[in-house]
Chain A
C-alpha cells in the first residue's frame, strides 16, 4: 500500500510540468471564456457589462451560426468516412508490401508535417492556377470548375485538402494497430481456408477496433473545429457558404461589431455539442472493442 502511494507520487511528479502548462494555457482560458460568454465585452474596451444569458438567447435566432453548424456537420460526416477509409486503405496497402514500406509511409505522412494554413495556400494555388492551366492548355476540361467560387465544388476542394492533410496521421495509428494483430491468428485463419477478404473483415478489422476508436474520436474532434483549411482556401466564402463554426466564431470576435462576449458564447455552445457527441461516440465504440 505504502509503495503504491509512492509510485503514484512519482508518476504525478512526472506529469506535473505538462499539467501546469495545460492548466495555464488550456484549462484556465477555457473556464475564463465561459465567464466572458455572459458579458458584452468587445475585446477593445477595458470595461464590460454582465448580461446574463442574453448572448445564448441570441444564438438561438442566429441563422448564420446554425448554417455554419450545418455546414460543419456535413463536413464532419464526410471527413469521418473519407479520411478514415483513405487512411485505412493506405495502411493496409503499405503493410501488405514486402519492400519500400518506409518510403511510402514517409510520403503519405509528409503532408501532416506541413501546417494546414500553408497547405491550404498551396492548394489554393493549385485550384486557382494549376488546374486552370491544365484545363486551358492541355484540354483536360473537367478541371475547369469554379473550385473556390461554386459552393458545391468549394466543398469538394476543402475535403480534398483536409484528407490530404490528415490521412497520413490516421494511417500511422492504423499501421501500428495492424502490426499488433498476432501473426498466428491470420495464419490459422488461412489454414482454415479464409481468403484475404475474409481475413481482413473477420480477423484484422475486429482486432484494430481500438485504433478505429481513436481515429474516429480524433477526426470527429478536429473536424468539428476545422478552421485553417477553410480559412486559407476559401475564407468561408463566397460570402458565408463555406463558413465553418470556427470561422463564424472568429469573424464574430475579430470583425464586424467585434463581439468577444458573444463569440465566446458561441464557442461554449460548440464545446457542449462536441462534448456530447464525443461521449456518445466513445460509449458506442468502447463496447465494440475486442479484447484478446
Chain B
C-alpha cells in the first residue's frame, strides 16, 4: 500500500512538471500565431516622468500617423524616475533588452556612441532642422547622434515680485548678491531655496560656478584637467558663492526633494532657487501667477564670470540593433515633425531648438535668452560623470558640515584623475 502511494506521488510530480512544460510551449505558439505581420512594437524609455501626459499623447499621435501609412505601431512608453533612469537603462542595454529609443544626457553621447549603442542620425531629415548652436551639443566626431529635446539657458531662478517689493534687481557681482541676501533677510524673506535631498540639485551649484569661473577667467582649466595637469585648487573661489547660498538658505535642506523645493519656491517660501528652467513646469503648475525670472550666478566680483549656462541636457538616441530600426528612426524624426513638434515642445515648456518651433517662449526663457544675446553665456562643461556624481555627494556633505572645502578639492582632483585613467 505504501509503495503504491509513493508511486502515485511520483507520478503526480512527474506529470505536473511535464504539463508545466507543455503549457509554456503552448503559450509561445499562440503568441506567434496571434501577431499579425504588420504590427510593430516600439519600446521608448524616457527620463522625465513629469512630462508623461504630453509624451503619451504624442506617442498616440505617432501611432495614428503610422496607421495612415499602413503600419500598426504600438508604442510602449516607459518613464523611470530620473534618479534611477541611468541604472535601469544600463542594465537593460547590457542585458540585451535595450529599448528601441531612449533618452540620455548629451554629456554621455560620446560614451554611448563608443560602446556602439547609438545610431548615426546625420543623414536623417531631422538634422537639418536643428539650430546650429544646439546641433553642436549633439554632435560627436562630426556625426549627429541624438535628437536634442531639452536645451536651455539657465542660472538662478528668482521671484520677480519679491525682488520688486524689496527694490532689488538681479545681481551682477558676488558683492551685489551678498547685498541682495542682506536686504531680503531684513525684509523677512528667505533668500535661497535649498532642496538638497537629491544629489543632482546641490551639484547644480558646481555646474554653474565652475562653468562661470572657467569660462570667464581660466579658459583652459578643463582641457588641462583632462590631461591631469590642473587642480580644483585653481578655481577655489567657487566656494565663495556656494557659501553665500548655503548660509542664506532655507532650513532642513536635506529633507527637501527637488519637486517639493520647486513647489515651495513657487509659493514664495524663498526668493531665489539655484535650479534650471526645467523646473518651470512644476513651479507654474503650483502657482500659475508666479512672476519668475532668471539671472546668472555671480562667482566673484568679475562680471566676466557672471554667465548663464547654455546646455542641452536630455536628448533622444536610437538603439542601432533595434529590431524595428526603420520605425524607430521614424519616431526620432517625428519628434521634430514640421506640424506637431511645436505643440509638444510648447506643452512641455521646452525651449525652441529647431526651425519647426514657432511658438512664443515663456518670460523666464526670454530673460535668459537676453543674456545669451549679449554674449554672456557659456557652453555647458562636459565633466566625467563620476566627477559630477562626486560633486553632488560632497556638496551634500559640505552642507551638513561633514567635509571641508579643502577636502572636497582633494577628493575631486583624485576622482578626476581616476576617471581619466579609465577613459584612456
Contacts and interface: CB of A to CB of B under 8 A. Distances in A.
- Which 8 residue pairs are nearest across A and B when measured between Cβ atoms? A149-B254, A239-B397, A254-B87, A256-B386, A238-B396, A128-B255, A239-B393, A44-B115
A222 interface: no
Contact of A132 (B10, B13, B255): B255
A151 B419 CA distance: 28
Interface in A184-221: none
Contacts, number: 106
Given A43-B90, A258-B90, A237 B6 contact: no
Contact of A13 (B10, B253, B256, B403): B10
B400 A45 contact: no
Q: How large is the interface on A (under 10, 10 to 19, 20 to 34, 35 or more residues)?
A: 35 or more
A116 to B, nearest CB: 16
Contacts of B252: 128, 132, 146, 149
Interface in B174-188: none
Given A146-B400, A237-B396, 4 more contacts: A128-B257, A239-B400, A255-B86, A257-B386
Interface in A228-258: 235, 237-241, 250-251, 254-258
Contacts of A237: 197, 199, 254, 393, 396
Interface in B361-393: 384-386, 389-390, 393
Nearest to A6: B6
B422 A241 contact: no
A25 interface: no
Most buried by B among A6, A235, A256, A260: A256
B87 A149 contact: no
Given A46-B116, A239-B396, A254 B90 contact: yes
Interface in B1-44: 3, 6, 9-10, 13-14, 17
Nearest to B390: A256
11 contacts: A3-B3, A43-B94, A44-B112, A128-B252, A128-B255, A149-B254, A238-B397, A238-B400, A239-B394, A255-B386, A256-B390
Contacts of A239: 393-394, 396-397, 400, 402-403
A238 B399 contact: yes
A220 B134 CA distance: 53
Contacts of B83: 235
Most buried by A among B6, B255, B386: B255
B78 interface: no
Interface of A: 3, 6-7, 9-10, 13-14, 16-17, 43-46, 127-128, 132, 146-151, 235, 237-241, 250-251, 254-260
Contacts of B418: 257
Nearest to B87: A254
Contact of B255 (A10, A148, A241): A148
A170 B123 CA distance: 62
A162 to B, nearest CB: 19
A93 B255 CA distance: 36
B115 A45 contact: yes
B91 A149 contact: no
A157 to B, nearest CB: 11
B172 to A, nearest CB: 32
Interface in B336-352: none
Given A149-B252, A239-B403, A241-B402, A255 B87 contact: yes
A43 B91 CA distance: 8
A7 B196 CA distance: 62
Most buried by A among B6, B87, B256, B393: B393
Given A44-B94, A46-B116, A146-B254, A13 B402 contact: no
Contacts of A6: 3, 6
Contacts of A44: 90, 93-94, 111-112, 115, 117
Contact of B17 (A3, A16, A256, A260): A16
B153 to A, nearest CB: 27
B402 A238 contact: yes
B6 A7 contact: yes
Nearest to A127: B255
A132 B198 CA distance: 19
Contacts of A127: 255
Contacts of B390: 256
A6 B116 CA distance: 55
B400 A151 contact: yes
B208 to A, nearest CB: 20
A149 B9 contact: no
Nearest to A262: B422
